[in-house]
């Protein structure tokens, strides 16, 4: 197999399929091509990969240090791997537009999700370009949100799932504050950086105004012209830039089984430098 990395865009807005790569043994050239494709397309997809968990982790380490999610059971082998499994006794709950772990002070750079078992029909994942979401806002809205800070809270999603009270969870993972519009640290682009899963309110704004404004901002991800949609097969991988896009796991397959494994790359503290502000 040559070092070439063929790339096929999925939509004009976001996403690309990458072929001719065995992720168990990637060259330095291929890693740099994958990194460049991630920055350009925000989410990239691979088919017919046969990575075990250790190889999945090794591939992810090419792009940075790895996180361990609080939903990972203590003592699990390969704690860097987050298991996401649903079936007859567990309906999927990831069906809301979100960026991963924005409740962290330093949210993730990106995630690499591998399909282990998928339903015959359904269980697709959708991705939305939040750079374009920002670009398409009116000048009035851009002026209103530029320089603003939003609060992100793990308890909105995980208090029930982790069997901890909201106060206990926030003591362990304090509320985080991030700019409503962040600057992508590698591309320099402005990104709309609030999501319905974890963003509670805009700081120093009247609560009713904050709620109404956030509702409008959350809806931007629903625009099909900003999206791509990926149909999973066993051995498929998706690698997305959590700093630039949001995703939505369609939970339309119940009671069929869907089992995924995710490895997440640690990121940096979001910031806004104003260089692309309207």
Give the residue numbers annotated as catalytic, written as ranges. Answer: 98, 100, 247, 262
**Sheet hosting strand 199-202, strand order edge to edge:** 176-179, 149-152, 199-202
Q: Please work out, in degrees rounded to the nearest 5, the angle formed at the alpha carbon of residue 175 by the alpha carbons of 169 and 178.
A: 145
Secondary structure in 3-state letters for the chain = CCCCCCEEECCCCCCEEECCCCCCCCCHHHHHHHHHHHHHHCEEEECCCCCCHHHHHHHHHCCCCECCCCCCCCCCCCCCEEEEEEECCECCCCCCCECCCCCCCCCCCEEEEEEEECCCCCCCEEEEEHHHHHHCCCHHHHHHHCCCEEEECCHHHHHHHCCCCHHHHHHHCCCEEEECEEECCCCCCEEECCCCCCEEEECCCCHHHHHHHHHHHHHHHHCHHHEEEECCCCCCEEEEECCCEEEEECCCCCCCCEEEEEEEECCCCCCCCCCCCC
How many other C-beta atoms can be found within 10 angstroms of the C-beta atom of residue 48?
11
Strand partners, 82: 262
Rounded CA separation 181/60 (Å): 27
Q: How many CA atoms are closer than 13 Å to the CA of 159, on its beta-carbon side? A: 14
């Amino acid at each position: 197999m040559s070092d070439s990395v063929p790339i096929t865009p999925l939509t004009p807005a976001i996403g690309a399929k990458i072929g001719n790569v065995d992720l168990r043994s990637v060259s330095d050239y291929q890693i740099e091509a994958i990194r460049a494709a991630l920055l350009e397309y925000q989410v990239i997809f691979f088919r017919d990969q046969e990575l075990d968990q250790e190889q999945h982790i090794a591939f992810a380490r090419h792009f940075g240090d790895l996180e361990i999610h609080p939903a990972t059971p203590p003592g699990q082998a390969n704690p860097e791997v987050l298991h996401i499994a649903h079936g007859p006794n567990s309906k999927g709950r990831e069906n809301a537009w979100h960026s991963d772990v924005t409740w962290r002070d330093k949210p993730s750079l990106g995630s690499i999700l591998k399909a282990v078992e998928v339903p015959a029909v359904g269980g697709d994942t959708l991705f939305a370009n939040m750079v374009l979401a920002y670009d398409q806002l009116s000048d009035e809205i851009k002026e209103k949100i530029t320089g603003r800070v939003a609060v992100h809270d793990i308890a909105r999603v995980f208090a029930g799932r982790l069997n901890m009270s909201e106060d206990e969870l926030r003591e362990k993972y304090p509320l985080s504050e991030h700019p409503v519009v962040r600057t992508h640290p590698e591309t320099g682009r402005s990104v709309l950086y609030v999501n319905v899963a974890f963003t509670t309110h805009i700081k120093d704004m009247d609560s009713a105004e904050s709620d109404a404004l956030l509702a409008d901002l959350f809806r931007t991800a629903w625009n099909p012209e900003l999206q791509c949609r990926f149909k999973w097969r066993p051995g498929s991988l998706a690698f997305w830039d959590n700093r630039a896009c949001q995703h939505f796991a369609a939970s339309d397959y119940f009671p069929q089984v869907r089992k995924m494994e995710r490895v997440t790359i640690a990121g940096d503290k979001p910031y806004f430098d104003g260089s692309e502000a309207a």
